[in-house]
Amino acid sequence: MQYIIKACDGENMLEKRLAVRPRHLENMARIMDKVVCAGGILDEEGKMKGSVLVLDLAGREELDEYLDSEPYIIEHVWETVTAEPFNAVIVNGQKVGK
């Protein structure tokens, strides 16, 4: 099942985000085969203020395992996180789903 995750940073978290980012990227590399797409949400100045991820996981248990291991959550960079079932139909201009 695919999930779309939207995570918004807490206020004034850019410096901390950048410090934690290498661990976040290591964690993402661990699950790279499950990542449909992922990236930062930017403010008007082009600075990161959150994240959006689409993950293809076995189910809610695997989603919870990912969230429990996410450095941005552990280090309190992300203030709010929502995760919902998602159906990617088109990825990079290619129809991949129904």
Angstrom distances, CA of residue 95 to CA of 54, 57, 71, 87, 90: 16, 19, 32, 11, 4
Cβ count within 10 A of residue 91: 12
Asked if residues 8 and 17 have their Cβ atoms less than 8 Å apart, the reply is: no
Residue range 2-89, CATH number: 3.30.70.1060
Which tens digit of pLDDT belongs to each residue from 40-92? 999 999 999 999 999 999 999 999 999 999 999 999 999 999 999 999 898 88
- Higher per-residue confidence, 93 vs 39: 39
* 42 Cβ contact list (under 8 Å, min separation 6): 48, 49
pLDDT at residue 91, rounded to an integer = 84
- 32 pLDDT tier (thresholds 50, 70, 90): very high
Q: Is the pLDDT of residue 96 over 90?
A: no
